[in-house]
Structure 1
Amino acid sequence: MKILVLNGSLRGNTGNSAVLANHAVTLLGQQATMLTLSDQLPGIREVYDLLASCDGILVVSGVYWNNWSSPLQRFIEVVSAFENTPAFFGKPVACAVSMDSVGGIEVAARLHAVFSGLGCWSPPCATVVVSRTGQEAIAASAGMDDDPNEDVWRMDDLSIVVHNLVTAAAMPRDNWKAWPHSALHIPDGPWPANGALDLESPKFL
């Protein structure tokens, strides 16, 4: 069993999203492989092979003006060429999002939709959103009888997300069907971290 943790933190190995990603790796132990998207990534084919070899994917990002990070956006743009291939098809995906105060659940919901389009599926309770305001509320009511913030998402809830992802990753993937789609061009060579990106999608303007 192999779970790929996509660390989409804008600050790489520092910051809130990196804490979530590192905690997930600790929970998963030897089952985890982490890819930090702000780093220099290996070649396109190597990234494809890494995705194809995993059994499930945990996507981690912060919230930046109601969207995920720019490294994660670029990753999604490049791996669009892997839609419904063994890189994604039939694999479960979960999301862990950090945010200041707003926008996290919307970002997570859109990430689930994006990865569903790539060929993944979402198991139950496969999202956690940890916020600064939520953690302050948890701290303010800690120890109270009938704690009103007991159900606010916190770091500990990531263990449930990871458990459900691993459970889903053990399920067979042979019975899914893919819809018809126009395959994009998968280029060889180094990872295109910046500059123009042409995957030979249809041009109509």
Structure 2
Amino acid sequence: MNSSGKKTGKGRGAGKPIVLPSAFAPRSTAAETLLSPDQAAQIQQLADLLKRNHLTELEIERSGVRIRIRHEPVIRTTTAQTVETVTNQSASTGTTPAAQTRPPAETDGQVTITSPIVGTFYRSPSPDADPYVEEGDFVKKGQVLCIVEAMKLMNEIESEADGRITKILAESTKPVEYGQPLFLIDPNATP
């Protein structure tokens, strides 16, 4: 213990409980909340589950203890590469799901906004509202382009570049996959 009477992290051996900061202590008592190594391992498993399934938030309650874990996904943009197509394909070659999610080959130099999660794509904040953006609209970096709903959580997808929307690649109220292209933005266009 240090001079203020609180436990320090020094000398902590295996099997001893982990002391959470006082910010996590229940408001009704001044006692510190302790986690056993098993409980800490369970919390880590919940965090791993959150990441593996690309969830933004997970909440669980057991025996009067509620744990909420939240992760803000990083929205990444990618520049599309030119894709060469072979015209003499055999009839047995079908379209693969990966080929269906690629943007068209004429997107060289454009910014592709992709879905950071699996969910349902919405172009407007509500069914009777106007869409956030239309093809041909000029957008600013950080401007909301759409919503992807996952497990009743509405995730606003923002533009990563200034420019003009050249193509909307997803259909409103339809499911989208992780990494699926949603919008093409021409960063060289000027209003």
TM-score above 0.5: no
Larger Rg: 2
TM-score bracket for this pair, using the shorter chain length: under 0.3
Which structure has more relative contact order (CA 8 Å, sep 6+)? It is 1
Higher strand share: 2
Give me the TM-score of the superposition, normalised by structure 1: 0.19
Relative to its length, the structure with more helix (as a share) is: 1
